[in-house]
A and B are shown apart, each in its own frame.
Chain A
Amino acid sequence: MKFVTCPSLGKRALSEFTYGGRYEQEPAQETVSEKEWADYVFYHNGAPKVQIEWWYHRPTGIWFLFERDTLTDRINKVDFARKGMTHEA
């Protein structure tokens, strides 16, 4: 089983978390064009990389941000979603 160390919670099984997709800056709703919106929703470079992702801890209902490598599945950093990234995993 895979474990991840989170602030406050300590070492938790990854199976307690639900993946919430990539973290991306949403374009401004007022000024966004249809093309920009389609790009934001659908089109991206899906090649292996280190990316920031939403992860939901079901038992406590807390959203976290993980910095994870999609090639090796290694989680580099973890923090509360509302704080940004500071802690090492």
Chain B
Amino acid sequence: MPLRLLKYAWKKPEDEPRFFPSEKPLKEAYDVVIIGGGGHGMACAYYLAKEHGITNVAVLEQGYIGGGNTGRNTTIVRSNYLTAEGVKFYDESLSLFEDLSDDFDLNIFYSTRGHFTLAHTDSAMRTMRWRAEVNKHYGIDSEVVDVETIQKEVPYMDMTCNGQHPVMGALYHAPGSVARHDAVAWGYARGAQMRGVEIHQKTKVMDIKTKGGKVVGVETDRGFVEAKKVISAVAGSTPRITEMLDIKTPIEIFPLQACVTEPVKPFMDTIVVSGSLHVYVSQSSRGELVMGASVDPAELHSTRSTLDFVEGLTDQMMDLFPFTSRMKIMRQWAGMADITPDFAPIMGKTDIEGFYLDAGWGTWGFKATPVSGKTMAYTVANDRPHELIKPFALSRYEDFKLVGEKGAASVGH
């Protein structure tokens, strides 16, 4: 238990300090400006301050902290990916996640659930075996399990899926977890702020200024700020930022929608994913079913939600869990997923000196929050890419060295 909770019990409410101190005016110059105050931007700021002693940093956020994809994902953390690059990267992230509550002295509600990826066809079973072998090779707890094991762990699931797509087995990943996504962003933000980083919400970057191929600062709606190094960690807004510098990327924006049901008694303590049915579901600590499906069919820069999505998703959900037909949907929302052709991120340096990209996070961004922050901070502080992110360079497409991450969620392969 975080010590903070115990201390809080002995305090009067008015003794409790504000979580974030009130904002200061923008300074004229910073060493590093981070665009985007979500999990990734905050984590980068935190590790820059904590591990590299760079504290003259401003995080500029056009909305509010964690209001973008950080607060819109379905909070699943796992590392059972398919490529060597992906597995190593996400496993580092998972181990960082496990220590975050203590690191922040703040409860991020990290809850290890066990993660089933269901297979309904022979070819899906083959992919699961492949993934399990790649995972085991890198020391990840991952195995293929049979129908009886799944039924025992998830007794309320209809294993025949209404007789239409019988479950044949699953990839089981015991460390698969959920965490409170807002708390992750808040924890990193507060940790960074305590070490001197400035966070400016409601501050929109309008342009990035360069001189002789080098970044000199950013133009915001609150005036010009000088900066030698600028990091873009803006997920679905990445193309709008790269357009300012005329950088071309393979990123396309697709809305990714999710929804939650009304809260019910706890009945499911695992995470269930079905690639064939395009469904993933877990039960939150409040009792709501948190559900997601695949990305929307066409490119769109918008966070609008649709009835088509809920209809499609609930149709599949009722095949898996027939009793959910009596449950009500409480909320639905969408995030803008920045999808790359090989379902892996784009991280590191660019052709513009001093401009760093942390993008292409598509449907796999939340689970990478700690490791992306850590590796980006290293990359910015040393001006050379961290070993773990070398395969994720923007130039990999023209070098024809694509990563091909078929373990990514919510995207058809």
Contact = CB atoms under 8 A, between A and B. Distances in A.
A23 B102 CA distance: 51
A1 B311 CA distance: 11
B240 A44 contact: no
B253 to A, nearest CB: 6
A53 B397 contact: no
Given A43-B248, A46-B251, A38 B301 contact: no
B302 A73 contact: yes
Interface string A50-75: 00010000000000000010111100
Nearest to A46: B239
Contacts of A38: 397-398, 400
Contacts of B302: 71-73
How many chain A residues sit at the interface, stated as a range, is 20 to 34
A48 interface: yes
B221 to A, nearest CB: 18
Nearest to A72: B302
Contact of A45 (B248, B308, B397, B398): B248
B205 to A, nearest CB: 14
B31 interface: no
B341 A42 contact: yes
A35 B300 contact: no
Interface in A19-48: 19, 22, 34-35, 38-39, 41-48
Contact of A70 (B243, B250, B297, B299): B299
Interface in B238-256: 238-240, 242-243, 246, 248-253
B1 interface: no
A47 B239 contact: yes
A46 to B, nearest CB: 3
Contacts of A47: 239-240, 242-243, 301
A45 B239 contact: yes
Interface centre among A18, A22, A45, A71 (most CB of B within 10 A): A45
Interface of B: 238-240, 242-243, 246, 248-253, 297-302, 304, 306-308, 341, 397-398, 400
Given A2-B308, A38-B397, A47-B301, 6 more contacts: A22-B299, A45-B246, A46-B242, A46-B249, A46-B299, A70-B300
Q: Which 3 A-B pairs have the closest CB atoms?
A: A46-B239, A43-B248, A19-B298
28 contacts: A1-B307, A2-B308, A18-B297, A19-B297, A38-B397, A38-B400, A39-B398, A42-B341, A43-B248, A43-B250, A44-B249, A44-B250, A45-B239, A45-B243, A45-B248, A46-B238, A46-B239, A46-B242, A46-B249, A47-B239, A47-B240, A47-B242, A53-B298, A53-B299, A68-B298, A70-B299, A71-B300, A73-B300
